Chain A
């Protein structure tokens, strides 16, 4: 069942375009950094962390992950999750997939596993492609960053990681970002079971990302209390792994929040899909 779903999805133009777009973004980023500013300090995130890209390919991967985690990656994840069931409904193949001796739970599971696999692949692709492009452009060197949170006007805290250690931290950071996509994934997946228009489900997932962004104290003073309850806001905390010593405050809360959101949305999707009349 999963093999069949994979065969139906992987050669979809949309799947290929999504992966190609993410990979080419890292290329554009590398070229842009090489063309200008590669030798200057670049600010990454809100910690803040400053890196000099042309010192190490790993820095490019860190910048790439940081610059895609709040919009491009949620968009890609929303595409895979939102297209899953609604895509079948849109093609008219949903009724044939279900008019068989196959339980709806099993059908939904195969959709879930394949869409989840593509989503994880998208998150992994970004730092991986950036690492390759960055290493080709700037070489394989230890990773150096300035920890802005620990620095003052007259004193900079420079942290240097050996390549292996930096890679390990990048790997953990990537896993954290992937985990941070689950609420948006699950929301788009739920919408995908509700609508027969894939675009609506994808747009819903992107909409949740935007709501999460907007209900942020940076944009709307006074909603600070909501900050840490939004599905996507704390996805940037992985950057703390590039501090020394690193601070994991808030990460557990964010991961638990993902679990609660994703669990709720997926349970709702399962509940509804098992009761749904397939009229189209």
Chain B
């Protein structure tokens, strides 16, 4: 089903890393247009690898992965419609934030039109510091620049891996607001986090992964089931949760 209107379709995705470790194990996930999906799960659950597979950085061992109906391979055309912040920001240290964004913009669009670039600089909100070398930036400034790069050219799908890790509450709020603003303007967002309050606050849907498998997914309100999302999450990821145990929670997709 190559439906170009569905941002993310993952079917039976498996990734075996070195030494036979299954980082992702039979994952099924569908993200519909306009959803803001929080990918939750303990460290090592396979969230980050899943996002890297979506970006064509990591090859799946088996399974089908499509973005907007196009099968993902390294350098797939559809990646031009995707913005990403994975494993933290990565920029050329001796160039300024502005130069870094300009180069990223040229790489994405192959031109130096400044519309979109100005908008990204505005999102980064670095003021005068935008012209200082990247290596002088604080942790929070780096993340803001990273998010600004992800939002360059108004992507239709935003893939963010722990976008608020290690940030202080004020910076966390800024990043969250930027994600919420992107979502409000119609961008589909998938972001991984182990901060459930964050998922609860800005996501319409959540998917919980554990040991490379999806153990639950659905609208946040449904998953919560009256208690806090944290309680629901902890009961999901706790215990042995063998394959058959996980099956009962498993949904084919994020519906609703």
Q: Residues of A with Cβ closer than 8 Å to B?
A: 1, 3-4, 7-8, 11-13, 91-104, 106, 274-275, 277-280
Contacts and interface: CB of A to CB of B under 8 A. Distances in A.
B34 interface: no
What are the nearest 9 A-B pairs in CB distance?
A92-B90, A99-B55, A278-B57, A93-B90, A103-B75, A277-B58, A101-B80, A101-B77, A101-B79
Interface residues of B, number: 34
Nearest to A16: B94
B55 A95 contact: yes
B24 interface: no
Given A4-B107, A92-B88, A95-B86, A13 B74 contact: no
Nearest to B15: A277
Q: Which among A1, A275, A278 has the highest number of chain B CB atoms within 10 Å?
A: A278
Interface string B173-196: 000000000000000000000000
A8 B93 CA distance: 10
A8 B90 CA distance: 13
Contacts of A11: 94-95
A106 B75 CA distance: 10
Contact of A97 (B59, B77, B89, B107): B107
Q: Among A7, A91, A277, find the residue whose CB has the most chain B CB atoms closer than 10 A.
A: A277
Contacts of A279: 17, 49, 52, 57-58
Contacts of B57: 95, 98-99, 277-279
B108 interface: yes
B74 A274 contact: yes
Contacts of B93: 91
B113 interface: no
Interface in B34-57: 49, 52, 55-57
Contacts of A94: 90
A116 B82 CA distance: 32
Contacts, number: 85
A277 B59 contact: yes
Given A11-B95, A278-B57, A279-B52, A92 B87 contact: yes
A98 B74 contact: yes
Contact of B95 (A8, A92, A98, A274): A8
Given A93-B90, A94-B90, A279-B52, A104 B74 contact: yes
B245 to A, nearest CB: 29
B91 A93 contact: yes
Contacts of A97: 107
B108 A100 contact: yes
B76 interface: yes
Contacts of B82: 99
B80 A8 contact: no
Contacts of A7: 99, 103
Nearest to A94: B90
A102 B74 CA distance: 8
Contacts of B106: 3-4
A180 to B, nearest CB: 31
A96 B58 contact: no
Contacts of B89: 92
B76 A101 contact: yes
